[in-house]
Structure 1
Amino acid sequence: MAGEGAGDRATAQAWRALGGDAGLVGRVGYRGAGGLGEGPLPVRESARATVGVCALAAAELAAVRAGGGADDVAPLVVDEGAVATAFVSERHLRVEGRAPVSFAPLSGFWRAADGWVRTHANYPHHERALVRALGLREATPEALREAVAGRGAVEVQERAYGEGGLAVAVAGEYGAPQPLVEVREFAGRRPAWGAGALPASGVRVLDLTRVIAGPVATRTLGLLGADVLRIDAPGLAESDDAYADTGFGKRSALLDLAVSGDRAVFEGLLAEADVVVSGYRPGALERYGLGVRELMARGRPGLVVAELCAWGWRGPWAGRRGFDSLVQAGYGISAACGSEAGPGVLPAQALDHGTGYLVAAGVLRALAQGGGRALRYSLAGTASWLVRDVEPAPVAPVGYTAGPWLREVPSGYGRLRVAASPLPGAQWLRGPSRWGTDDPTWLPR
């Protein structure tokens, strides 16, 4: 029902974590039938709350840029069908009629001698690392199944990690509590972006993210008018299907930060950026002198830096690689969603998508406050919120179908069928260019 946001606890929790005015939460309502209700955890409630606070943050920034304040934020309504469709956007994607490959043959759950292991081998370098770690005679599911069956789950996990691969023992209990977002304040100064039709018009976003959570965040900022420029290293190729799904609203260029000429170009981009969004694990950018304090010192006054990682920012796993599926396994969610047949999964990669909308919301709120903020998120933080704090809402209306929320658009990859954005009132008119083919320059303001 429209207006339900006034009593929606998950929305209030997320908005409070972002530092938002509690009086604005009632301006978000939800309507329509939605999916994501399968399983024991309140995924539907957490998903719509992340989209709701993102839409609210966009409305707040629009009001501030128009010279107003909280009283000028108009009520808005999020459709739960759009949320459910967007949270499984990768399943709805079609590239010239072809369905993408979501998980590679060596990605999945495998029974170990004393439990279960979840592997992630979608990228070729991760598959090669897994093959090396376990001494597989060939890169086949049969060989992997045999190798895992003869070892303990933690042994498989540590062997894979030691070779740069990705495997996580399925945990039987929830992981330690993690914050939903952490905020540090630096000197702020709201830049003069000029007039714009959308909340983030004229805002320049340097996108240093990969896969789903970070790209969803920057895709959303691009939808709201920002000039988003994604930068990747030339030796670390991206999946075309992944970029076809998350490359909307941005451009993509390649720079090698170890090469002086490319580093100089990057420094020039940084000097004119309003926002930096990083999805690299803790410590990765510090090797290049690009930690938060260095970014703040060399960037524009009022710069906003948003960092996200898999396992959180403290503890022995902080520096480990991770994906949504692995965090579900290692945080205890897969066990909670499982059965006698083995571990299970959430009805969507909700840690990825939910974190992405929370990152975008935090950036929008930081811009409305004048910038000068560093934000930290993690998939484990979103998982912690989901399993500990989010409560089931009343039973959702039945009758959800994805059809009304699917769109066809042209792109650098051909004709795409994609999920529409769940944010009210804004949609993409075309898909992304091809990954890595754009110039590393900002558009004119």
Structure 2
Amino acid sequence: MDDLGLPSVFRVGEFAAWAVTAAHTQAAAYFATRNGLQTMPRVTVGTREAAIAFRSERYLRMDGEAAFEWAPLSGDYETADGWLRLHCNFDHHAEIACRVLGAPQDRAAVEAAVRRRGRFELEDAIAEAGGVAAAMRTRQEWLAHPHSAAVAARPVVAMTPLAGDGVFAAECGIVGARSGADATGARSGAGVADGVGAAGVGAAGGAGYGSGAAGAAAGRVFATEPGTPAAAASPRPLSGIRVLDLTRIIAGPNAGRVLAGYGADVTMVRSPVLPTIRGLDLDLNFGKALRFLDLRSGAGRSAFLDLVRGADVVLQSYRPGALAGLGLGPAELAAVNPGLVHVSISAYGSGGPWGGRRGFDSLVQMAVGIAEEGMRAGGAERPVPLPAQVLDHGAGWLAAAGAVEALRRGGGLAVDVSLAGVGHALDALGRLDPAVGLAVPDPALSDVDDLLLRSQSGAGTLAHVRFPGSVAGAELGWSGPPPHG
């Protein structure tokens, strides 16, 4: 069962291998162009290592101790007509939820208050107050929701000209049909991609993934354009590429971590006042630098625009429209740097009825039917999420893949990925027989020691999951520890 990765009826290991392979394939293509290679470097990704990378925060140890815990009020609550999940890892989200509920910040009091209310009514009330919550839906209830259609109509990795209109699907987000046991590792446990840009169908088509999953086209020759001089040879695919990372929590920081793993110069631009989660900061920011800027101030915005002028990629995961409200949206950044690649990650996307709604991986899993299906498959009495923050990590890898593809296309592009869109792609892969998927052992820390590295940092000795996969001839991995003590 090892090649399935993690215990679930959803094809989590397969999906993780596909997403990692998608990003590595783009990095390999960029590496080939810069180094004047006449053939595409071989990409190899093991299903097990990809799956473990998708739950890296669970395995992080700081001087032997776990570094991340959920806040006491975060979790699933039984309502009068189903289940609701609250996300209270930030104090202001806990305060909003309790204010809507009319309850003190006490678990028992919150449970009692939630039990008196309906799941959909509470979901909307907390969202309208600026908080974050999600009612548990069945898959059928989600498919009947108007926002589900908006998600399905959008490419998993969407691209738009930075200064212009028209949305098109990035090749790195294309899911192809299965084509053999060894195509990308669905059965063999190893992902291989020898080309880029093969035809495939969108994730909404419901196909699995095989030779087209990450743009693989076995045997295709990849060469630089005639007359284009090759860049100076470098073992790091993105050496010299400058990335500004304005993200927090998991999805966005993971995208920046992936780009750093390819050798990009990644600088986190953090607000001096917004909260973060220390354990996630330690796990997801290897190889990055850190700079604090208050983008609400004139001086902070001016300093940020100076950074943008010299950047290749801006990566952001603020709520859709938030940066545009500060005069720092894609159009404004394009005005100072027309060749920029602008990457956005959100919970539900920017369009549709829930466009701009706040959310996190665990909430999206509730909203789109994943947690309810997990509950039914396992015969449980409460919601059962995926065995990893798959939507977060998947969005990070696909956003990074989109960023590299946009660089390959010459820049001047906006890339957009949503957690709900990632959930749609996962859903399209189909399901495993519960007798098979749920029988996969859940890997403990002692089971993954071969996939761990130990690094010295300002916080002590960090044991952390290594960068998964390889690109032949390239050097992957992080240049240093996270910039947090």
**Same fold, TM-score > 0.5, yes or no:** yes
Report how far residue 367 of structure 1 moved.
1.2
2:251 corresponds to 1:282: no
Q: Secondary structure at 1:402's aligned position in 2? A: helix
Could you tell me which amino acid in structure 1 is paired with residue 12 of structure 2? V
Alignment of 1:25-174 (within 5 A): 33-34=2-3, 36-68=5-37, 72-137=39-104, 139-173=105-139, 174=142
Q: Distance in 2 between matches of 1:191 and 1:262?
A: 38
**Gapped runs of 5+ residues in structure 1?**
1-31, 436-445
- The 1:186/1:338 distance shift into structure 2, 3 A limit, reads same
Aligned partner of 2:369 in structure 1 is 332
Aligned partner of 2:220 in structure 1 is none
Q: Secondary structure at 1:415's aligned position in 2? A: strand
Query: C-alpha deviations, 1:146-168, integer Å up to 9, x for none?
Result: 11001111222123223322111
Query: C-alpha deviations, 1:93-151, integer Å up to 9, x for none?
Result: 111222123311111111000110011111112112212221213x1221111110011
Aligned partner of 1:433 in structure 2 is 483
Aligned partner of 1:308 in structure 2 is 345
Given that 2:341 and 2:411 are in contact with CA atoms closer than 8 Å, whether structure 1 keeps it comes out as yes
Could you tell me which amino acid in structure 1 is paired with residue 328 of structure 2? L
Report how far residue 237 of structure 1 moved.
2.2
2:287 corresponds to 1:260: no
Q: Secondary structure at 2:306's aligned position in 1? A: helix
Aligned partner of 2:221 in structure 1 is none
Aligned partner of 1:322 in structure 2 is 359
Report how far residue 375 of structure 1 moved.
0.9
Given that 1:209 and 1:278 are in contact with CA atoms closer than 8 Å, whether structure 2 keeps it comes out as yes
Q: Distance in 2 between matches of 1:61 and 1:121?
A: 40
Aligned partner of 1:209 in structure 2 is 247
Q: Distance in 1 between matches of 2:231 and 2:108?
A: 56
Q: Distance in 1 between matches of 2:3 and 2:91?
A: 35
Moved more, 192-201 or 361-370: 192-201
Q: How many residues align?
A: 398
Aligned partner of 1:183 in structure 2 is 159
Alignment of 1:213-224 (within 5 A): 213-224=251-262
Alignment of 1:383-394 (within 5 A): 383-389=423-429
Report how far residue 199 of structure 1 moved.
0.7
Given that 2:2 and 2:440 are in contact with CA atoms closer than 8 Å, whether structure 1 keeps it comes out as yes
2:398 corresponds to 1:358: yes
2:210 corresponds to 1:241: no
Given that 1:34 and 1:398 are in contact with CA atoms closer than 8 Å, whether structure 2 keeps it comes out as no
- The 1:162/1:184 distance shift into structure 2, 3 A limit, reads closer
Given that 1:119 and 1:166 are in contact with CA atoms closer than 8 Å, whether structure 2 keeps it comes out as yes
Q: Distance in 2 between matches of 1:193 and 1:379?
A: 35
Q: Distance in 1 between matches of 2:395 and 2:310?
A: 26
Q: Distance in 2 between matches of 1:35 and 1:414?
A: 34
Given that 2:79 and 2:117 are in contact with CA atoms closer than 8 Å, whether structure 1 keeps it comes out as yes
User: What is the aligned-residue RMSD (CA, Å)?
Assistant: 2.5
Give the alignment's TM-score, normalised by structure 2.
0.77
Match of 2:451 among 405, 416, 419: 405
Q: Distance in 1 between matches of 2:464 and 2:32?
A: 30
Aligned partner of 2:387 in structure 1 is 347
Given that 1:45 and 1:390 are in contact with CA atoms closer than 8 Å, whether structure 2 keeps it comes out as no
Q: Distance in 2 between matches of 1:319 and 1:159?
A: 16
Q: Secondary structure at 1:267's aligned position in 2? A: helix
Report how far residue 57 of structure 1 moved.
0.9
Aligned partner of 2:222 in structure 1 is none
- The 1:224/1:127 distance shift into structure 2, 3 A limit, reads same
Query: C-alpha deviations, 1:290-345, integer Å up to 9, x for none?
Result: 2222221222x421111110012211211111100000001111111113402210
Aligned partner of 1:4 in structure 2 is none
Could you tell me which amino acid in structure 1 is paired with residue 119 of structure 2? A
Give the alignment's TM-score, normalised by structure 1.
0.84
**Gapped runs of 5+ residues in structure 2?**
165-227
Given that 1:215 and 1:356 are in contact with CA atoms closer than 8 Å, whether structure 2 keeps it comes out as yes
Could you tell me which amino acid in structure 2 is paired with residue 345 of structure 1? P
Aligned identity (percent) is 40
Q: Distance in 2 between matches of 1:234 and 1:404?
A: 37
